[in-house]
Structure 1
Amino acid sequence: MTEKRAAAQDIPETAGASREPSAGRWNRNFRLFFVARTVAVFGDGMVPVALAAGLLGAGRPGSSVGYALAAWIGPFAVLVLFGGVLADRFTPRRMMILADGLRLVGASVLAVSFAAGDPSVWVVYGLSAVSGVGAALFQPGVASTVPRIAHDVQRANAVLRVCEALMTMAGPAFAGLVVGLSGGAGAVFAANAATFAVSGICLFLLRLPPAGEPVERGSLLAELVDGWREFTSRSWLWGVIAIWTVYGLTVAGPMLPLTAVLVTETHGSGTYGVLMAVNGAGSAAGGLLAMRLRPTRPLAAGAVALLGVVVNLLVLGLDLSVPALGAGQFAGGAAFAFWLVMWSTTVQTHVPPDALNRLHAYDVSGSLLMMAAGRALAGPVAEAVGAGRVLLAGVVVMLGVVGVMLGVRPIRELRRVG
């Protein structure tokens, strides 16, 4: 379907060569994209609080909240691959604007439904699914937009990561405050809808340079297959993601629910909330560190940083004191944020523009599915052997993940571009 590209080789490529972002990190396009991402992540953080307040407040069982969140994540995991193809075909900016429009409609209808009374759970599930479709259309375009709006891709990713960490903390806190003041979920969903409106307007105002030479397009299926070829042609890329599927299933998936259970049962929900805020602060610190450090081998440096996640798993598994748990959460948040900046920057600078959206979609889809499976299995396995043992087993797995990434030559020796 397509011609062979230099991108199909395991050699560093300057994907940014065809892009001409405006000078300066805080140019007009970057400011608009920064605001769009900031308000969108802030809005996403409100959703679990709003769903819990609305459904539980209406007398629905706790399982209904889980089903509503599953109705979001299901379409997202399934359709994100097609979102990558559509972003390549119709441009990421258009797909992200469409996605914000879909999510604006979904959140607005939820706001009206909860404000008017007690909506059917099936209405809530359906509108959550609409938001999941919107997220699937939006997410692939994020990866390819950053290199087109910033000369310094690593610092741009770090700035965005710091902002996302702060908004991840602020979103739920704001939602809780609104629920307390208004007494319902309708006002939270109205605020959530407003964030998508602001994001869509900012993206509409973007003026992006061409992403490169026009590429001949085939059918959706043909482009999915071509994206798979691009994906498997880079041993460092598929190697990291293959390792990450193990991490998602055995560490990242179980860690969140087991942390919530262990900390809440032993120290109370207030302590859990504080620890999650500490984790967010650690993420911000990791992003700030990624602004300063520019390792020659970014994936190797990111792998070493992931030892901070080992510290977090260890203090959780051993059920240490609250200060130790706080130190572990900070270390884990900082480590993971630093890794994400190294990984995102590597992908964005080594993959050509015409394949980036599809490859990012494969990455997101695989990681999300494995983490979802890990979360589903965490409860039954923890009941059988104990949550602490599952987390301590995660220490061994995490050490193996770091060791394998440092041991695989294409991953360890991949050099920074630019």
Structure 2
Amino acid sequence: MPDTLIPPAARVAAHRDPNVLRWVAAYTLSMVGDMVFYLALSWAAVQHGTAAQAGIVTAVSAVPRALLMLGGGVVADRFGPRRVVIGSDAVRCGTVLAVAAVLFATDPGLWLLALLAVVFGTVDAVFLPAVGALPARITTKDQLARVQGMRGLGIRFAAVVGAPLGGLGVAVGGSAAAFACAGLLIAVSVPLLVSVRVRELPPDEAGVGTAGSTTAWRDLRAGLSHIRRHRVLGPLMIAIALGDLGFVGPLNVGLTLLADERGWGASGMGWVLGGFGTGAGVAALLLAVRGRVPHAGLVTAGAIIPGAVAIAVLAYAPGLPVAVGIAVLVGLLTGLSGAMCGALLQTQTDTAYLGRVTAVAGIVSLGIAPLSMPLSAAAIGVWGTGPVFVVSAVVCALGGVVALCAPGLRRAELPT
């Protein structure tokens, strides 16, 4: 599948570029499809097995994704992110639609759902690094921060729309209808991705990772070496890891337990999550509109540390309205720091390494950070929500300390 190249004269600001907007639309539709898919998978698993079995089915997709994502990054860099994204998205679509058809016709049980989760997680291991590597091929480096903000808005939109849409599908036609809805959403994203054009890499960026030029193992080692030796990427990965480890536990299982402890109920937890989503959406919109934030490294650290403090304060909020206000602040600060980390990763990485670098960041966020959830739940059972939120905030704040103490990251700037 040959890549369609962008004529040099066609490069414009990302938020006005139809090529970038097609990619954002495709990415957003695919993310909404993912949200519907996981809701349908959870519902179908609960209907076909015990709670423990349903938990295993819904979690099993994370295993191949975490184990194979580094290899997926190599594939994206060797064969080009555009064709890898299109191919993997088409496989995702076909798999989900096939399962929907089987569920309409018969009741195969949990084995089919477990197989679907494994296949989906395996394909995601290739899809996610390629998605991360594609923006650098559809616009110039000075526009990558704006694209990161637009991508953040797409994620917020998917979070708001995906769950209700999946619930509607289940209500109308059961799990089969919800799976069909997810498959159709992903299907619409495929032709949009096909229409996206990519730019040709300049000679100084195109000499690494081409298919056939070296072994996949050497490509993988080269990508890891690129991160380790880079004055910005090395400390940035540590900051991302610490920030995610300190953030994921409290804002997932910790918030559920906090809402139960305070008597806020499910609706109160929904308000707090809505506050967080609002703050994160504002941060993404800010970056999408401005396109560039000066002193990017300092801003990243300056957002992580007060955001961590706000996480700790959330556990001691005197009432639900105050908690919602703090959640907005947490979302704004952590959303800003997350968007800045993503923008720095995009702009500091040599384009030919982006698939592998995105894969490493993805393993940190999707493979390591979720481990904090059962640990947070167990710790809250022993010490309560307040102390655990404080410890999590300290871990998160350490990411900001790393950003301040690493000269390369502290002085990092986004391209003009």
Both proteins in one fold, TM over 0.5: yes
What secondary structure does 1:235 align onto? coil
Quick one: structure 1 residues 147 and 310, their matched pair in 2 at CA, closer, same or farther if it must change by over 3 Å? same
- Farther off after superposition, 206-215 or 228-237: 206-215
| Residue from 349, 361, 364 that aligns with 1:363 | 361
Matched, 1:142 2:131: yes
Separation in structure 1 between the aligned mates of residue 266 and residue 281 of structure 2, nearest angstrom = 23
Aligned residue pair count? 399
SS in 1 for 2:271: helix
Return the match for 1:316 from 314, 317, 324. Answer: 314
Q: Is the 8 A contact 1:299 1:414 kept in 2?
A: yes
| Equivalent runs, 1:110-149 vs 2, <5 Å | 110-149=99-138
Q: CA deviation at 1:400?
A: 3.1
> What are the within-5 Å matches in structure 2 for residues 155-194 of structure 1?
155-182=146-173, 184-194=174-184
Does the Cα contact within 8 Å between 1:283 and 1:333 map onto a contact in 2?
Answer: yes
Q: Which amino acid aligns with 1:161?
A: G
Deviations 1:138-189 (A, max 9, x none): 111223221332342222221221122122111012112222233x111111
Q: CA deviation at 1:264?
A: 4.2
Range that drifts further, 282-291 or 316-325: 316-325
CA distance, structure 1, for counterparts of residue 339 and residue 375 of structure 2: 29
One-letter identity of the residue aligned with 1:137 = V
| Secondary structure at the counterpart of residue 306 of structure 1 | helix
Where do 5+ consecutive residues of structure 2 fail to align?
A: 1-6
Question: Map of 1:11-410 to 2, 5 A cutoff?
Answer: 22-25=11-14, 26-58=16-48, 60-151=49-140, 152-182=143-173, 184-213=174-203, 214-215=206-207, 217-264=213-260, 266-290=263-287, 291-292=289-290, 294-307=292-305, 309-410=307-408
Alpha-carbon distance, 1:257 to partner: 1.1
Residue aligned with 2:232, SS = helix
Displacement of 1:285 in angstroms is 0.5
Quick one: distance in 2 between partners of 1:36 and 1:293? 21
- Code of the aligned partner of 1:211: L
**SS of alignment partner, residue 61 of structure 2:** helix
Deviations 1:38-90 (A, max 9, x none): 101111122332123222234x2222332123211111111111111111111
Q: Aligned partners of 1:244 and 1:157: how far apart in 2?
A: 16
Give 1:303 deviation, angstroms: 1.9
CA contact (8 A) 2:232 2:408 kept: yes
Q: Which stretch shifts more, 362-371 or 242-251?
A: 242-251
Deviation per CA, 1:91-142, whole angstroms, max 9, x where unpaired? 1011111111221122113323433454321211111111111211111122
Structure 1 counterpart of 2:201, which letter?
A
CA distance in 2, matches of 1:273, 1:51: 22
Q: Answer whether contact 2:258 2:315 (CA < 8 A) is retained.
A: no
* More deviation, 121-130/315-324: 315-324
**1:52, 1:85 → 2: CA distance?**
31
Q: TM-score, normalised by structure 1?
A: 0.88
In the aligned structure 1, how far is the partner of 2:274 from the partner of 2:161?
Answer: 9
Tell me how far 1:311 sits from its aligned partner: 4.7
Aligned to 1:13: none
Scaled by the length of structure 2, the TM-score of the pair is 0.89
The one-letter code of the counterpart of 1:228 is: L
Distance 1:272 1:120, change over 3 A: same
| Counterpart Cα distance in 2 of 1:275 and 1:117 | 40
Distance 2:306 2:51 in 1: 33
Aligned-residue CA RMSD in angstroms? 2.2
Q: Answer yes or no: is the 8 Å Cα contact 2:23–2:193 preserved in 1.
A: yes
What percentage of residue pairs aligned between the two structures are identical?
24
